[in-house]
Amino acid sequence: MPDDTPTPGAISDLEKNRALLEWLRWQVGQTERRVRELEIQEAQERARRERARAEMAWKIQPQRSSSAALLHRGGCATYPDQVGLISREDAMVALAEPDIEPCEVCRPQTGLLS
């Protein structure tokens, strides 16, 4: 017949499972932190790709009452709207129009003429 008396210094099943539970909670915390880090990295990479895409495009700021419409580089902060980015070819056509002028800040014509 086996002896059920605990060996001195032995850890009970209850203590083992409490230790395991604590370790698993730590592992979950580590995993949650890593997921948050990866989500931040992914968002930063997505923003970087969007900025790069904008820098390779142009945009037109609509005409205001007394001024001409303006052609901007896609990343120009003076007209932050990112909707309706246009291609290089469309920007060249737009710049040839008499009622569209290049932005004096971002100078989009330098990217078109090179």
What pLDDT score does 4 carry?
A: 64
Q: What is residue 64's predicted lDDT score, i.e. its pLDDT?
A: 80
Strands 58-61 and 100-102 turn out to be: unpaired
Partners of 11 in beta bridges: none
pTM for this prediction: 0.58
Cα 114 to Cα 103: distance, rounded to the nearest angstrom: 17
pLDDT along the chain (114 residues), means of 10: 67 96 98 98 94 86 85 87 84 90 90 68
pLDDT reported for residue 51: 83
Tokens 């945009």 sit on residue = 59
